[in-house]
Amino acid sequence: MKKVFLSVILGGIWITISEFVRNEFLLKNYWVNHYNSLGLSFETLPINGALWMAWSFILAYVIYKLLQKFSFKETIFLSWLAVFITMWISLYNLQVFPLIMLCFAIPLSLLEVSVAAIIIRKVNYKK
């Protein structure tokens, strides 16, 4: 149980950092400009950070559970498909997701999920 908790915490921390770096440092201008074009403001508020952190730990737990049933590659694909693709479709449907971001978001999100899966697998299956 201790390994499970530790692996999900470490995986969640990685995902949180990855999301923060991607959206606050690499892509913030895209978000700000897109929201401005919609007449909205893109703000970074503590509640947003807390919700993204919760999302990150949920994703880490999903990865942990998928690793129990599927191969490493299947886990990466299924978690990425279930989380990121559905999120992008939902955000695009709400007209708040600029498609240009997919050029960055696809490879970075695959990297994010892959590293999280590596962390979770290594912590849980150390000899």
* Mean pLDDT (whole number) for 17-44: 92
pLDDT 10s digits, 63-80? 999 999 999 999 999 999
d(C-alpha 119, C-alpha 124), whole Å: 9
How many CA atoms does the CB half-sphere of 58 hold within 13 Å?
9
Looking at residue 127, its pLDDT comes to 53
Average pLDDT along the chain? 94
User: Is residue 125 very low, low, confident or very high in pLDDT (cuts 50, 70, 90)?
Assistant: confident
- 91 half-sphere exposure, CB direction, 13 A CA radius: 15
Query: What angle do the packed helices 72-80 and 102-124 form, to 10 degrees?
Result: 140
- Sketch the domain layout of the chain as residue ranges: 2-124
The whole-number pLDDT of residue 42 equals 87
Predicted pLDDT at 70: 97
Q: Output the pTM of the full model.
A: 0.92
